[in-house]
Structure 1
Amino acid sequence: MKYLLLIYMDENAMSDTEREHCYVESAQVAQDLHAKGQFVASAPLHPVATATSVRVREGKSLVTDGPFAETREQLGGFYLVNAQDLDEAIAIANRIPGARVGTVEIRPVLEIAGLPKS
Protein backbone atom coordinates (compact mmCIF):
# COMPACT_ATOMS: atom_id res chain seq x y z
CA MET A 1 0.00 0.00 0.00
CA LYS A 2 1.16 3.53 -0.68
CA TYR A 3 1.41 6.04 2.16
CA LEU A 4 1.93 9.79 1.91
CA LEU A 5 4.14 11.12 4.70
CA LEU A 6 3.51 14.86 5.03
CA ILE A 7 6.20 16.81 6.88
CA TYR A 8 4.96 19.81 8.88
CA MET A 9 7.19 22.20 10.79
CA ASP A 10 7.71 25.82 11.60
CA GLU A 11 9.69 27.22 8.67
CA ASN A 12 12.08 28.89 11.12
CA ALA A 13 12.69 25.73 13.17
CA MET A 14 16.07 25.15 11.49
CA SER A 15 19.03 27.34 10.65
CA ASP A 16 20.32 27.30 7.05
CA THR A 17 23.10 24.92 8.11
CA GLU A 18 20.65 22.60 9.87
CA ARG A 19 18.36 22.68 6.83
CA GLU A 20 21.22 21.70 4.49
CA HIS A 21 22.10 18.82 6.82
CA CYS A 22 18.42 17.83 6.84
CA TYR A 23 18.40 17.69 3.02
CA VAL A 24 21.46 15.43 3.00
CA GLU A 25 19.96 13.16 5.64
CA SER A 26 16.59 13.12 3.87
CA ALA A 27 18.24 12.14 0.59
CA GLN A 28 19.93 9.24 2.39
CA VAL A 29 16.58 8.09 3.76
CA ALA A 30 15.19 8.22 0.19
CA GLN A 31 18.19 6.21 -1.12
CA ASP A 32 17.69 3.58 1.61
CA LEU A 33 13.97 3.33 0.79
CA HIS A 34 14.79 3.06 -2.92
CA ALA A 35 17.18 0.16 -2.24
CA LYS A 36 14.31 -1.65 -0.45
CA GLY A 37 11.80 -0.94 -3.25
CA GLN A 38 9.74 1.34 -1.00
CA PHE A 39 10.54 4.74 -2.52
CA VAL A 40 8.00 6.37 -4.83
CA ALA A 41 8.73 10.12 -4.52
CA SER A 42 9.98 12.77 -2.13
CA ALA A 43 10.60 16.51 -2.22
CA PRO A 44 10.94 19.51 0.03
CA LEU A 45 8.69 22.46 -0.72
CA HIS A 46 9.55 26.11 -1.19
CA PRO A 47 8.55 28.42 1.71
CA VAL A 48 4.87 28.98 2.40
CA ALA A 49 5.24 32.57 1.16
CA THR A 50 5.46 31.14 -2.38
CA ALA A 51 2.18 29.22 -2.03
CA THR A 52 -0.95 29.98 -4.02
CA SER A 53 -4.39 28.64 -3.06
CA VAL A 54 -7.24 28.06 -5.50
CA ARG A 55 -10.88 27.69 -4.52
CA VAL A 56 -13.78 27.26 -6.91
CA ARG A 57 -17.14 28.35 -5.58
CA GLU A 58 -20.31 28.54 -7.63
CA GLY A 59 -18.21 28.13 -10.78
CA LYS A 60 -15.90 31.05 -9.97
CA SER A 61 -12.20 30.66 -9.25
CA LEU A 62 -10.71 32.54 -6.32
CA VAL A 63 -6.90 32.63 -6.32
CA THR A 64 -5.11 33.89 -3.21
CA ASP A 65 -1.51 34.07 -2.06
CA GLY A 66 -0.44 31.76 0.71
CA PRO A 67 -1.68 28.52 2.20
CA PHE A 68 -5.31 27.63 2.84
CA ALA A 69 -5.03 28.05 6.61
CA GLU A 70 -2.75 29.96 8.94
CA THR A 71 -1.06 27.51 11.28
CA ARG A 72 2.06 27.35 13.42
CA GLU A 73 3.48 24.49 11.35
CA GLN A 74 3.54 24.57 7.56
CA LEU A 75 3.72 21.75 5.04
CA GLY A 76 7.42 21.57 4.24
CA GLY A 77 7.74 18.44 2.14
CA PHE A 78 6.63 14.87 1.60
CA TYR A 79 7.59 11.28 0.99
CA LEU A 80 5.39 8.91 -1.00
CA VAL A 81 6.34 5.36 -0.03
CA ASN A 82 5.27 1.76 -0.37
CA ALA A 83 4.77 0.11 3.02
CA GLN A 84 3.18 -3.17 4.04
CA ASP A 85 1.09 -1.53 6.73
CA LEU A 86 0.77 1.46 9.03
CA ASP A 87 3.43 0.13 11.40
CA GLU A 88 5.98 0.05 8.59
CA ALA A 89 4.93 3.57 7.49
CA ILE A 90 5.42 4.76 11.08
CA ALA A 91 8.91 3.22 11.13
CA ILE A 92 9.75 5.15 7.96
CA ALA A 93 8.30 8.38 9.37
CA ASN A 94 10.52 7.98 12.44
CA ARG A 95 13.58 8.22 10.16
CA ILE A 96 12.54 11.51 8.54
CA PRO A 97 14.65 14.36 9.99
CA GLY A 98 11.69 16.75 10.05
CA ALA A 99 9.98 14.53 12.63
CA ARG A 100 12.56 15.73 15.19
CA VAL A 101 11.46 19.38 14.92
CA GLY A 102 7.94 19.08 13.53
CA THR A 103 5.27 16.51 12.74
CA VAL A 104 4.99 13.82 10.08
CA GLU A 105 1.38 13.07 9.16
CA ILE A 106 0.86 9.62 7.65
CA ARG A 107 -2.01 9.15 5.21
CA PRO A 108 -2.81 6.00 3.25
CA VAL A 109 -3.23 6.75 -0.44
CA LEU A 110 -6.58 5.81 -1.91
CA GLU A 111 -6.01 4.10 -5.23
CA ILE A 112 -8.76 4.73 -7.76
CA ALA A 113 -9.30 3.44 -11.27
CA GLY A 114 -8.60 5.65 -14.26
CA LEU A 115 -5.47 7.39 -13.02
CA PRO A 116 -2.29 7.13 -15.11
CA LYS A 117 0.26 4.62 -13.86
CA SER A 118 3.59 6.08 -12.75
Structure 2
Amino acid sequence: MKFMCNVIVDNDIADRLTDADWARMGKESMAYDRALMDRGIFIAAEALHGREVARTVRVRHGVAAVTDGPFMESTEVIAGFILIDVPDIDAAMEVARNIPMATVGAVEVRPVMVF
Protein backbone atom coordinates (compact mmCIF):
# COMPACT_ATOMS: atom_id res chain seq x y z
CA MET A 1 0.00 0.00 0.00
CA LYS A 2 1.38 3.41 -0.96
CA PHE A 3 1.57 6.27 1.51
CA MET A 4 2.59 9.90 1.04
CA CYS A 5 4.55 11.33 3.94
CA ASN A 6 4.27 15.11 3.60
CA VAL A 7 7.15 16.72 5.42
CA ILE A 8 6.00 19.96 7.04
CA VAL A 9 8.42 22.52 8.42
CA ASP A 10 7.51 25.03 11.11
CA ASN A 11 9.28 28.21 9.98
CA ASP A 12 9.36 29.54 13.54
CA ILE A 13 11.60 26.59 14.43
CA ALA A 14 13.46 26.44 11.10
CA ASP A 15 14.45 30.11 11.26
CA ARG A 16 16.45 29.39 14.42
CA LEU A 17 18.55 26.64 12.80
CA THR A 18 22.14 27.35 11.82
CA ASP A 19 23.75 26.43 8.51
CA ALA A 20 25.46 23.57 10.34
CA ASP A 21 22.07 22.36 11.61
CA TRP A 22 20.69 22.36 8.05
CA ALA A 23 23.76 20.55 6.69
CA ARG A 24 23.37 17.86 9.38
CA MET A 25 19.65 17.57 8.69
CA GLY A 26 20.33 17.17 4.96
CA LYS A 27 22.86 14.39 5.55
CA GLU A 28 20.52 12.62 7.96
CA SER A 29 17.62 12.91 5.51
CA MET A 30 19.62 11.47 2.62
CA ALA A 31 20.86 8.63 4.82
CA TYR A 32 17.29 7.87 5.88
CA ASP A 33 16.14 7.79 2.26
CA ARG A 34 18.95 5.32 1.49
CA ALA A 35 17.86 3.16 4.44
CA LEU A 36 14.29 3.11 3.08
CA MET A 37 15.68 2.12 -0.33
CA ASP A 38 17.64 -0.71 1.27
CA ARG A 39 14.40 -1.92 2.88
CA GLY A 40 12.70 -1.87 -0.52
CA ILE A 41 9.90 0.50 0.54
CA PHE A 42 11.15 3.77 -0.98
CA ILE A 43 9.40 5.04 -4.11
CA ALA A 44 10.41 8.71 -4.31
CA ALA A 45 11.34 11.74 -2.24
CA GLU A 46 11.81 15.39 -3.09
CA ALA A 47 12.54 18.56 -1.19
CA LEU A 48 10.70 21.73 -2.16
CA HIS A 49 11.87 25.32 -2.35
CA GLY A 50 10.56 27.67 0.34
CA ARG A 51 7.20 29.36 0.48
CA GLU A 52 8.70 32.61 -0.80
CA VAL A 53 8.73 31.18 -4.35
CA ALA A 54 5.40 29.30 -4.12
CA ARG A 55 2.36 30.28 -6.14
CA THR A 56 -1.23 29.22 -5.49
CA VAL A 57 -3.84 28.87 -8.23
CA ARG A 58 -7.56 28.99 -7.45
CA VAL A 59 -10.19 28.49 -10.15
CA ARG A 60 -13.68 29.78 -9.38
CA HIS A 61 -16.45 29.86 -11.96
CA GLY A 62 -13.90 29.25 -14.73
CA VAL A 63 -11.63 32.12 -13.69
CA ALA A 64 -8.11 31.40 -12.44
CA ALA A 65 -6.56 33.60 -9.78
CA VAL A 66 -2.87 33.28 -8.93
CA THR A 67 -1.42 34.50 -5.65
CA ASP A 68 2.06 34.42 -4.23
CA GLY A 69 2.79 31.99 -1.44
CA PRO A 70 1.08 28.98 0.06
CA PHE A 71 -2.69 28.49 0.18
CA MET A 72 -3.17 29.66 3.75
CA GLU A 73 -1.32 31.88 6.14
CA SER A 74 0.69 29.63 8.39
CA THR A 75 4.14 29.25 9.81
CA GLU A 76 4.02 25.62 8.67
CA VAL A 77 4.67 24.79 5.01
CA ILE A 78 5.17 21.60 3.06
CA ALA A 79 8.91 21.24 2.59
CA GLY A 80 8.92 17.95 0.72
CA PHE A 81 7.59 14.44 0.63
CA ILE A 82 8.54 10.80 0.80
CA LEU A 83 6.42 8.30 -1.11
CA ILE A 84 6.63 4.78 0.32
CA ASP A 85 5.11 1.35 -0.28
CA VAL A 86 4.48 -0.51 2.97
CA PRO A 87 1.92 -3.09 4.14
CA ASP A 88 -0.24 -0.81 6.31
CA ILE A 89 -0.67 2.48 8.19
CA ASP A 90 1.30 1.19 11.17
CA ALA A 91 4.34 0.60 8.97
CA ALA A 92 3.87 4.04 7.39
CA MET A 93 3.75 5.66 10.83
CA GLU A 94 6.98 3.89 11.79
CA VAL A 95 8.64 5.41 8.72
CA ALA A 96 7.20 8.87 9.49
CA ARG A 97 8.38 8.82 13.11
CA ASN A 98 11.96 8.48 11.91
CA ILE A 99 12.02 11.17 9.22
CA PRO A 100 14.72 13.61 10.42
CA MET A 101 12.80 16.73 9.33
CA ALA A 102 9.98 15.81 11.73
CA THR A 103 12.13 17.44 14.42
CA VAL A 104 11.48 20.88 12.91
CA GLY A 105 7.83 20.42 12.08
CA ALA A 106 5.61 17.44 11.41
CA VAL A 107 4.93 14.61 8.97
CA GLU A 108 1.44 14.13 7.61
CA VAL A 109 0.83 10.53 6.50
CA ARG A 110 -1.88 9.76 3.95
CA PRO A 111 -2.71 6.64 1.96
CA VAL A 112 -2.53 7.10 -1.80
CA MET A 113 -5.89 6.54 -3.51
CA VAL A 114 -6.08 3.76 -6.08
CA PHE A 115 -8.50 4.27 -8.95
* SS state at 1:67 partner: coil
Q: List structure 1 segments (4+ residues) > 6 angstroms apart after TM superposition.
A: none
Q: How many residues align?
A: 112
Q: Under a length normalisation based on structure 2, what TM-score does the superposition of the two structures give?
A: 0.91
* SS state at 2:92 partner: helix
Aligned twin of 2:38? 35
Aligned twin of 2:53? 50
Aligned twin of 2:92? 89
What's the CA shift for 1:13?
A: 4.8
Matched letter for residue 77 of structure 1: G
Aligned twin of 1:3? 3
| Higher relative helix content | 2
Aligned twin of 1:116? none
Q: Give the gaps of 5 or more residues in structure 1.
A: 113-118
Instruction: Work out whether residues 6 and 78 of structure 1, in 8 Å CA contact, stay in contact via their aligned partners in 2.
Output: yes
Percent of residue pairs bearing the same amino acid type: 38
Q: Under a length normalisation based on structure 1, what TM-score does the superposition of the two structures give?
A: 0.89
What's the CA shift for 1:19?
A: 1.4
Over the aligned positions, Cα root-mean-square deviation in angstroms equals 1.1
Residues 51-71 of structure 1: CA deviation (Å, up to 9, x unaligned): 000111111111111000011
Aligned twin of 1:77? 80
Query: In structure 1, how many angstroms separate the alpha carbons of the residues matched to 2:75 and 2:37?
Result: 32
